[in-house]
Structure 1
Amino acid sequence: MRAPLAALAVALAACGGAPAPEAALPPPPALPVGLGERLAEAGLVAEPLDGADGYGLAEVRSDSGSFLGQWIDLRRVEVRQVMGEVEPGSDEPSAFHPEAPSPQFALVDPAAVVAEAEGDGAFAVLNGAFFETPGVPTSQLAFPVALGGVAVTGGSSPYGPGRPGAEGERWARPLRALGLDTLANVADYDPATGAPLGAPGFADAVVSYAPEAHPARIATRFHVLGPLDADGDGAAETLVIVTSDGRTRIGAAASVLARLGVDAGRMLALDGGASVLVRNRRAGTLHEPTSAGGRSPQWLPHYLVVAPR
């Protein structure tokens, strides 16, 4: 039987009074210096979700929709790749590199990647490269990836420049390589030579579509990335990542990047749709990869971890 309210009040008084009030919430994070002004000049409204030296995360609203924006100063913050193990004996000829194979990579539970990354102090975890066969234990990646100066896969997608499934003008546009170094390097990719993989600034790199060549022409979730010279010294030290919420087409995310000052000719898109993962140490899981039928989470073979250097 519950005690009457009066009796409960007496009991509390006897114990020294009412319970202490809840601790005040921490103040909202601050965006990197100069970013608020850049957003305002671009006509964008931002609600900060996380901030640290060299890193910022915000919900960004424009006239076309709502997006997540991440700003990564690569001089202070690294973006490292986490990949599933290669299945022994699975090497096949690749489609986009003259020498690299196209092996099968194990799909990895995102919860395991997040737990290890956050245990090491990471700011965020995202999904990375396109892959061919979701929902099975292993998969080939769609396009080349380099680690430590070595192309670990040359990709196997039927959709890309010169491939049998690539019909139409947009497929003639080159793939682009994103170098993950102390500067944000983006360059057109040459499947005949593998360049620029392995060159300075591209020892660790991911190859993918330009936004305008992305195969999904519908409203869904997208990551669009690009380099930004935020301090005006001539070097693009900042990597900007814009993630759409599923209600707009890819051009809307690319438009937000362009309004922030990113050159449209240096943007690229990572895997989108059901694969999209955005996990932040402070804001939690903002996007989760989903399996067939809407079940969560989908396991993935390739992740990007954003962490202090």
Structure 2
Amino acid sequence: MNALINLLLFLLPILSSFWIAQTFNPLSSYQPLQAVDGAALYKKQLTNGNEAYLQVINLGKMHIDQITGEVDNMGLKEGKYYQGEGQYYSPFFQNKLFSEVTDEYQKLYANNVFSMINCSFFEQYQSSTQLSFPIKLNGVVITGGTSPYGPIKKPKDKYYNNIRLKTLVWDDKQAYITDYNQASGAPLNQKAVKNAIVTYRYSDHPAKVLAQNQANKYQVIGTLNKDGVKGDELLLIMTVNQATLDEAADLLRKLGVKGDIITVDGGRSTFLFNFQKGNIIVPQLSNLQENPTFRHLPHYLGFRKKSKNQVAPKISIAQPIGKVLPKKDQPYLILWRDNFDGDVSIKLYDGNKLIQNISSRTASDGVYEWTPRISVTEGYFIRISSRKDRNIFGQLQL
């Protein structure tokens, strides 16, 4: 009898968990819109005719691309958050029209594309803009951030004197959200961290802190472990069209997210694109003028399947609005987009004359920090070429 009782006591938690799993499905109130191997998009009807859109991204099967506009100005010593105020650069990135970005992304990756969202907060509403907080792109910290609403010496509101910014870090297996240290740059200063964005915990967003938690368009992000192996392999992105940040975060909590929840750029800039459904939420026109100010954004995240590419290899470089001339002994970011895994070479030319071999071999990952040791003359151009096929190249006119 004692053996039977012990067996029942052992089995009870297992049976209870199984029964709960069978009777409660947190996604049961969501309408599936698209599912591929590694990602899914759902829609949930909220009160008063509002909607929420949930993306579930499995990082073991999906790849995340960070897409920025080209550099218009390096913003030398203007970075406030990476390794101390004024210790790093904070470039002005050209704002890119959301439709142009999605078109280019689909041309590069065809049917592998799943979705795209806008991401980092930005500072200026003009042709190019600085980003609010640091970003690491494929191993390179590309901006130190300039936001006046954060833990700097003189923030615009005293609430932000001591807030703790958060970092979303991801690789090809998992993602996690952790504290950011603006004095050391951790975790972005770690070599193992290749891609990361710094942003607010949802509850520290100025819309909640300073604007009475108003309902608006928002994007909140959390991570989740569903395979039983250590590490959160799922990235959950919730996009709401009219809700408070608390309500948006609560939707993720109900799906099982237990750790930190962050928010990225929202409001009138909010953008959600899906390959099958098209533009679901698009940035709005400005109420103050006819120009589509909020439709041009500086930083996006694209999500695509890791399977082999289905289109011809290509290198894409768009010319920024103003030509930025690299300066001797000062850092300069070379940015491009491509759709192949092989290495590239980067060279500086004056017409047909080779001026400098900037890098004979570097990864085709879209970013290279160059500090020229020579004077660069207007009219030179930078050529990025595939190492496998020199006929595959892109050029940036200086």
TM bracket, shorter-chain basis: 0.7 to 0.9
**Residues of 1 paired with 2:23 and 2:73: CA distance?**
48
Asked whether the equivalents of residues 54 and 72 of structure 1 are also in contact (C-alpha less than 8 Å), the reply is yes
Asked whether the equivalents of residues 86 and 103 of structure 1 are also in contact (C-alpha less than 8 Å), the reply is yes
Q: Who is 2:124 aligned against?
A: 133
Q: Deviations over 1:180-215 (max 9, x none)?
A: 312112111000010001436631111100000001
Secondary structure of 2:296's aligned partner: coil
Q: Who is 2:33 aligned against?
A: 49
Identity %: 31
Question: Which of 304, 308, 316 is the aligned partner of 1:307?
Answer: 304
**Residues of 1 paired with 2:179 and 2:74: CA distance?**
31
- Is residue 2:258 matched to residue 1:250? no
**Residues of 2 paired with 1:75 and 1:227: CA distance?**
13
Q: Post-superposition shift, 1:167? A: 3.0
Q: Post-superposition shift, 1:117? A: 1.6
The letter of the residue matching 2:122 is F
Q: RMSD between aligned alpha carbons?
A: 2.3
- Is residue 2:64 matched to residue 1:74? no
Question: More relative contact order in 1 or in 2 (CA 8 Å, sep 6+)?
Answer: 1
- Is residue 2:270 matched to residue 1:276? yes
Q: Post-superposition shift, 1:106? A: 0.6
- Is residue 2:89 matched to residue 1:91? no
**Residues of 1 paired with 2:43 and 2:155: CA distance?**
36
The 1:280/1:201 distance shift into structure 2, 3 A limit, reads farther
TM alignment of 1:2-41, pairs within 5 A: 40-41=24-25
Q: Post-superposition shift, 1:283? A: 1.1
Asked whether the equivalents of residues 180 and 198 of structure 2 are also in contact (C-alpha less than 8 Å), the reply is yes
**Residues of 1 paired with 2:53 and 2:22: CA distance?**
16
Bigger drift between 80-89 and 167-176 goes to 167-176
The 1:94/1:71 distance shift into structure 2, 3 A limit, reads same
Q: What TM-score, normalized to structure 1?
A: 0.81
Bigger drift between 298-307 and 99-108 goes to 99-108
Q: Who is 1:16 aligned against?
A: none
Secondary structure of 2:104's aligned partner: helix
Q: Deviations over 1:130-176 (max 9, x none)?
A: 00012x11100000011122211010000012353353546633111
Secondary structure of 1:123's aligned partner: strand
The structure that is strand-richer by fraction is 2
Bigger drift between 156-165 and 249-258 goes to 156-165
**Residues of 2 paired with 1:292 and 1:80: CA distance?**
28
Question: Deviation above 4 Å: which 4+ runs of structure 1?
Answer: 37-40, 62-65, 168-171, 294-297
The 1:253/1:201 distance shift into structure 2, 3 A limit, reads farther
Asked whether the equivalents of residues 107 and 137 of structure 1 are also in contact (C-alpha less than 8 Å), the reply is yes
Q: Post-superposition shift, 1:54? A: 0.5
Bigger drift between 236-245 and 112-121 goes to 112-121
Asked whether the equivalents of residues 73 and 93 of structure 2 are also in contact (C-alpha less than 8 Å), the reply is no
Question: Which of 201, 218, 225 is the aligned partner of 1:222?
Answer: 218
Question: Which of 234, 237, 245 is the aligned partner of 2:233?
Answer: 237
TM alignment of 1:180-199, pairs within 5 A: 180-182=170-172, 183-199=174-190
The 1:42/1:89 distance shift into structure 2, 3 A limit, reads closer
**Residues of 1 paired with 2:39 and 2:297: CA distance?**
25
The 1:280/1:172 distance shift into structure 2, 3 A limit, reads same
**Residues of 2 paired with 1:82 and 1:39: CA distance?**
41
Q: Who is 2:196 aligned against?
A: 205
The 1:89/1:189 distance shift into structure 2, 3 A limit, reads closer
**Residues of 2 paired with 1:38 and 1:208: CA distance?**
37
Secondary structure of 1:221's aligned partner: strand
The 1:230/1:62 distance shift into structure 2, 3 A limit, reads farther
The letter of the residue matching 1:190 is N
Q: Who is 2:391 aligned against?
A: none
Asked whether the equivalents of residues 54 and 237 of structure 2 are also in contact (C-alpha less than 8 Å), the reply is yes
Q: Post-superposition shift, 1:44? A: 5.4
- Is residue 2:278 matched to residue 1:290? no
TM alignment of 1:145-164, pairs within 5 A: 145-164=135-154
The letter of the residue matching 1:230 is K
Query: Where does the alignment leave 5 or more consecutive residues of structure 1 unmatched?
Result: 1-36
Q: What TM-score, normalized to structure 2?
A: 0.64
The letter of the residue matching 1:250 is L
Secondary structure of 2:113's aligned partner: coil
**Residues of 1 paired with 2:164 and 2:41: CA distance?**
30
- Is residue 2:172 matched to residue 1:176? no
Asked whether the equivalents of residues 179 and 201 of structure 1 are also in contact (C-alpha less than 8 Å), the reply is no
The letter of the residue matching 2:214 is I
**Residues of 1 paired with 2:23 and 2:282: CA distance?**
26
Q: Post-superposition shift, 1:91? A: 2.6
Q: Deviations over 1:25-60 (max 9, x none)?
A: xxxxxxxxxxxx799533751111110001000002
The letter of the residue matching 1:71 is V
Q: Would you say how many aligned residue pairs link Structure 1 and Structure 2? A: 270
The letter of the residue matching 1:126 is I
Asked whether the equivalents of residues 80 and 152 of structure 2 are also in contact (C-alpha less than 8 Å), the reply is no
